[in-house]
Amino acid sequence: MNWDETAPSTDDAATVPDRLVAADADGEETAVEAALRPKDLEEFVGQERVREQLDLVLRAARARGATADHVLLSGAPGLGKTTLSMIIAAEMGVPIRITSGPAIQHAGDLAAILSSLQEGEVLFLDEIHRMSRPAEEMLYMAMEDFRVDVIVGKGPGATAIPLELPPFTLVGATTRAGLLPPPLRDRFGFTGHMEFYAPAELERVIHRSAGLLELDIEPAGAAEIAGRSRGTPRIANRLLRRVRDYAQVKADGVITRETAAQALDVYEVDGRGLDRLDRAVLTALLKLFGGGPVGLSTLAVAVGEERETVEEVAEPFLVREGLLARTPRGRIATPAAWSHMGLVPPQQQAGAGGQQGLFGP
Ligand SMILES: Nc1ncnc2c1ncn2[C@@H]1O[C@H](COP(=O)(O)OP(=O)(O)OP(=O)(O)O)[C@@H](O)[C@H]1O
Ligand SMILES: [Mg+2]
């Protein structure tokens, strides 16, 4: 992981350098994550509804000796879509092939993958909303009829050679279910929508990971980390690793509420999971603009960040937490924002006199 705060970002999307509370995995994290992935539905924490529904789908398919229906998993980054796809394969006792929408640019790429699948295999297509149109159209037929037409030649002389495919289970994952064309969405037999996790569920994720990493953690320590994890298991696991480092170096290795809180304070992740950027946005909104309304561009300049960074990186979580609202007149802070930042709104400072009190009698 790159901790150099000044390192230029290579992503095209608005990003800030390596946030501890980013929901996306960074490159090196993938290996660490693999070790912490639950291996079956039983071990998979939370998402009760999706788990129960999926359990039925898979059990029924197994009982029929059939290949499971195609499954679409939608939800925010880090909630367990990839994990669940691997669990589907494991529960069905079949191999899994992993690819992603951006990796399939030509229909031919997809045809090659599809024709090399074994019977019953799970094909995991991550970021399925980012597939090219021709590949998508080939996928329709493959999903429905287990057949593709391979086009040979060009122009008027081109011919379509039908190719039979073994039955397979497509597991598609997307963070943007709304971007999927309806014909594609309709071809999935089951759609599971993943929700953010409740604190108690994240505590279970943390205890489980702590066990695998052989860490000594007290329940209050797990609760402290859970409260700062923004409803996301990936972030919970990442914060746990940082707290582990701190507990090793600064304490006796045991993760108590105090060590967890001190460690995450060092990393500037506050009690509610806000990091430095989130707090900078709120501080500017509250202190410089009296809680708003203020335009996005003005707010961004005040924070010293790009407009897109404020809008795409900081705001979604602040809005989700009910700390900031986007209105036609600009951004405003909610009462919860004032109290979270330990500040008093101007009206209340002025007492019963209201806003006027600010400017004297
Ligand atoms: N329900 C869960 N129980 C325990 N651990 C989980 C659960 N969901 C996710 N995790 C852990 O969180 C990490 C991220 O999960 P995963 O990679 O499956 O997320 P994702 O939804 O595929 O994210 P992305 O959208 O970025 O691809 C993994 O290390 C996994 O172990
Ligand atoms: Mg994933």
37 lines ligand 1 (CB under 6 A): yes
Per the DSSP assignment, residues forming a β-bridge with 217 are: 255
Whose alpha carbon is nearest atom 30 of ligand 1? 37
How many angstroms is it from 81 CA to the middle of ligand 1? 6
Residue 219 shares a structural domain with residue 239: yes
The residue annotated as part of the active site, out of 169, 175, 232, 256, is 175
List CB contacts of 215: < 8 A, sequence separation 6 or more: 240, 244, 247, 253, 255
Does the residue 209 lie in any domain?
A: yes
Number of domains in the chain: 3
Residue 54 shares a structural domain with residue 184: yes
Per the DSSP assignment, residues forming a β-bridge with 151 are: 160
Does the residue 40 lie in any domain?
A: no
Spatial distance between the Cα atoms of 172 and 81, rounded to a whole number of angstroms: 9
pLDDT band at 3 (very low <50, low <70, confident <90, very high): very low
Residue 355 shares a structural domain with residue 222: no
φ/ψ (deg, to 5) at 186 = -70, -20
175 lines ligand 1 (CB under 6 A): yes
Which pLDDT tens digit goes with each residue over 272-303? 999 999 999 999 999 999 998 999 999 999 99
Active site residue 175: yes
Active site residue 109: no
Helix (H, G, I), strand (E, B) or coil at 96: strand
Q: Which of 237, 266, 295 is the last residue of a domain?
A: 266
For residue 236, what is the domain's CATH number? 1.10.8.60
The structure tokens 């006796």 sit at: 252
Q: According to the model, what pLDDT value does residue 356 have?
A: 46
CB-based contact 128:174 (threshold 8 Å) = yes
Does the residue 35 lie in any domain?
A: no
DSSP assignment string, 24-63: SPPTTHHHHHHHH---STTTS-S-HHHHHHHHHHHHHHHH
Angle CA(308)–CA(194)–CA(123) in degrees, nearest 5? Answer: 100
Q: According to the model, what pLDDT value does residue 33 have?
A: 84
Tokens coding 31 = 């290996």
Q: According to the model, what pLDDT value does residue 14 have?
A: 57
Q: In which domain, by residue range, is 211 found?
A: 199-266
CB-based contact 194:76 (threshold 8 Å) = yes
Active site residue 82: yes
Spatial distance between the Cα atoms of 358 and 175, rounded to a whole number of angstroms: 46
- Within the chain, residue ranges assigned H as helices are 29-36, 48-64, 81-92, 107-115, 133-145, 182-185, 199-212, 219-227, 233-250, 257-266, 276-283, 296-303, 307-308, 315-320, 335-340, 346-349
| Radius of gyration in angstroms for the set of CA atoms belonging to the chain, rounded to a whole number | 24
Residue 217 shares a structural domain with residue 160: no
Residue 173 has pLDDT above 90, yes or no: yes
Q: According to the model, what pLDDT value does residue 354 have?
A: 45
Residue 118 shares a structural domain with residue 204: no
238 lines ligand 1 (CB under 6 A): no
Over residues 219-232, mean pLDDT? 97
Spatial distance between the Cα atoms of 141 and 107, rounded to a whole number of angstroms: 12
78 lines ligand 1 (CB under 6 A): yes
Which pLDDT tens digit goes with each residue over 347-360? 776 554 444 444 44
Residue 13 has pLDDT above 80, yes or no: no
CB-based contact 302:264 (threshold 8 Å) = no
Does the residue 20 lie in any domain?
A: no
Q: According to the model, what pLDDT value does residue 321 have?
A: 96
Whose alpha carbon is nearest atom 13 of ligand 1? 234
For residue 127, what is the domain's CATH number? 3.40.50.300
Find out whether 326 is annotated in a ligand binding site.
yes
The residue annotated as part of the active site, out of 19, 67, 81, 256, is 81
Does pTM top 0.80 for this prediction? yes
